[in-house]
Every structure is written in structure tokens, then in C-alpha cells.
Amino acid sequence: MGFATYAEVLKNPVVRRILLLGMFIRVPLWAAGVVITLHVVTHLGRSYTEAGLVSTIVAVALSVSSPWRGRRLDRVGLRATVLPSIVIGAVAWSIAPWLSYWPLVVVAGVASLFAVPSFSIIRQVLIGHVPDRQRTTVLSVDSVATELTFLVGPVLGVLAATYLPTPVALLICQLSVVGGAIMLWIANPPLNSQHSDLSAGKVSVRSWMTPSVVMVLVIAVTSTVILTGEDLSTVAALRDWDQTTAIGWTLALWGAGSAIGGIVYGALHRHPSAAALLVGLAGTTALVALAPDGNLFWFALLLTLSGVFCAPTITATVDDLSRSVPASVRGEAMGWHGSALTFGSAVGAPIIGLALDHGGWSWGFALAGLMGLVIALPGLALTRRGRAAAGAPTVEEAVALGDAQQATEAPLGI
């Protein structure tokens, strides 16, 4: 393993700055997600179902906007893309906390359509400013940083909603996201290095949306379906066992396993494909269903083991995708990746919820794992075929030559 590569990556000033900026945006973003639910339920006196509808509208809006905002990044650059997000976000979220339920739904949806494409920006900057051999490592660092913000953000959101009126807490969280976007606009980090090959220019989606790219996006969707399934099934299991006080630390162990897995994955000299890691994630998720009923020790142990594959699988989808598309459309591709993750979370909740209602917590884990294995098998076959074609021209070369036949055969994750 090459843990020394992490030291090399973190010596890069561009990497350090963009990771720090990412933290400033992501922590209040995760906090706002919790606060808006509490705001709808407590301040507006609505049900959790109605609070869930707001989250669904926001998720759909983000799924629609991510590729579009990513395409804007590719074509007009960071500042021209982020400025409308800053203006619309500041206006919308200054008004939204004081609105009644249905106007809040509309304003939240509109604001989400113009959300800052922070994940696309951060990953583009990271990929564009490290050598190819450090790409997986720097993406693993970003994955672990995201895990940390996801652990910290909701806690701060709950604290803010507890000690402040929820409209004020929501205002602070969302304007903090806008503040992070302003810092990003001022910093204006270059999305690509001077060595990036942008010769492909503006190309249509059809020229780079190859079977390999589609499979990576399907794996990303499936990964978040599994993660949503693990989250919901964990809560269901511990509620069944009257162990609700253990929910927090059990999920924390799951997150810690994910962070450890991400660090180890980034240090490997040879990296498994996203499809191979999905097999590990799906298999260990299904394994949790075999934990003895009521045995918290074995349940937490198996859940932590499954967590080891979480961050590496998501990181691998970003890595494989970034190597499968031209640099000139990387922002749009990362937008599609963000939509895939959001879509997986949105569809995962009702699917796993159905399993929990009919079969209990073990069915939730079993279904999530089975779905992952079904998707991973064709992914593995496509990956092997791509790696067998290692001598073929890259996607960027094929698109630059206008050879659609070669572009569809470009190798995945090479």
C-alpha cells in the first residue's frame, strides 16, 4: 500500500484549498436537510410525510439540475455558473423560512434547481490538479472528507433547531451554504490544469454516454439504494429490539468503517473497479441480515464490515467515470453522477420501506444486498471486456477523432 501518497496529495495547495472550501459548503448543507424537516414538523405543524415531500421535491430538483449545472461549468466556467446560484439561493432562502407549507415547497424546489454544483466543482478541481497516479487517492480523501461533513452537519442542524427557532436555524444554515458559494466564487479555482486535454471541445452527450459510462451511473444509483437500505434497516432493527439509544453509535461505527475503507482504498496500488466493489458492498449488506435477532454485538460488527465498502464504491464510480469521458465534458458527467446518487436515495427509501413493512429489518438488508448483486454481475462482465481492450484508444482520443465506434468501446476505469 502507498499511504505516503496521501502526504504527497495533501502537499498540493490547490487540493488543500478546495477540500477546505468543500467543508464550508457541505457541513451547513447536511445541517439544512435536517433543519428543514424539523421546521416543517414543529414550526409548520405538518406530518413527517409532508416533510418528506419537501425532501423529495428538493431531490428531484437536484437530479434535474445537476447535469445542466455541470454542463454550464464546462461551457462558461465556475464564476458564471456559481453567480446565479448565489443570487437565487440568497433571495430564496431569505424568504423560505417565513413561508407557509406549500409556498415553502415551491421556493425550495426553485432554489434547488439553481443549487451550487459543489460536488462537481470539487471533484473536477481535484482530478484536474493531481497526476493520474494520484487520482484515486485524492478522490478517496474527498470521500472521507464528505463522510466527516455528513456526520457533523446533521448534529449541528439538530443543535441549531433545538436552541433556535427553526426559521432562524434554517436561515442560518442555508445562508451559510450561500456564504460558502461566495468563497468559492472569490477563490475561483481552475477546474482543469494546464495539462488537461480539452481538445475534444463541446461534444454531444451521445458521443460520450457509452455503455461503460451508463453502467457506472447504474452502479452509482444501486450503491445509494443499498446505503439507504442499510440506514433504514438499521433504524428498524434497533427499534424492534428496543435499542433506539444505540442507533447513533451504531451508525457512527458504520460511518467509521466507511472512512477506513476509503483511506485503505486510496492507498492501494491496484484499484478494484466499481462493479467489483459493488459485489463486496452488496454481499456484506446481505450478510447483516443473518445477524442473530437482538444480538447487538454481531449486528454492529457486520454493519461496520459492510461500511468498509461504502466509501470505496462511491469513490470508484467517480474514478471510473472520470477516466471514461473527455475532460471537456467532465463537469456534465459529474453532474450526471450527482443525479444518479440523488436518484438512488430517492427510489431506495420506498423500495426498502416496502421490504421492512412486509418482512422486517432482515428483509431490508437482504433486498438491498440482492439488488446490488444483480446489478454488479453485468457490471463485472462489462469491466472485464473493457480491460481486455486496454490497447484501444481512449475516450478523449476517440471523440476528438469523431469516431463514435471507438468511443463506445473505450475501456472502463483504465
Cell of 399: 471523440
Per-residue model confidence (pLDDT) at position 404:
38
Per-residue model confidence (pLDDT) at position 398:
44
Per-residue model confidence (pLDDT) at position 397:
42
Give yes or no for a contact between 190 and 330, defined as CB atoms under 8 angstroms apart. no
Q: Where are the domains of the chain?
A: 1-191, 206-414
Per-residue model confidence (pLDDT) at position 154:
83
- For CA atoms 323, 325, 326, 329, the dihedral sign is negative
Longest dimension (CA), the chain: 63
Q: pLDDT tens digits, residue range 247-299?
A: 888 988 998 999 999 999 988 888 888 999 999 999 999 999 999 998 999 99
Per-residue model confidence (pLDDT) at position 175:
95
Per-residue model confidence (pLDDT) at position 390:
38
Per-residue model confidence (pLDDT) at position 405:
40
Residues in the chain: 414
Give yes or no for a contact between 200 and 319, defined as CB atoms under 8 angstroms apart. no
Per-residue model confidence (pLDDT) at position 50:
87
Per-residue model confidence (pLDDT) at position 366:
96
Per-residue model confidence (pLDDT) at position 401:
42
Per-residue model confidence (pLDDT) at position 324:
87
pLDDT < 50 stretches in the chain: 387-414
Question: Do the domains at 1-191 and 206-414 have one common CATH topology?
Answer: yes
3-state secondary structure of 201: coil
Q: How many CB atoms lie within 10 A of CB 205?
A: 13
3-state secondary structure of 99: coil
Per-residue model confidence (pLDDT) at position 330:
87
CATH hierarchy code of domain 206-414: 1.20.1250.20
Pick the CATH number of 1-191 from 1.20.1250.20, 2.60.410.10, 3.30.70.890, 3.40.50.360: 1.20.1250.20
Q: Determine whether 35 is exposed, middle or buried from the number of CB atoms within 10 Å of its CB (0-12, 13-18, 19+).
A: buried
Per-residue model confidence (pLDDT) at position 408:
36
Amino acid at 109: G
DSSP character at residue 98: G
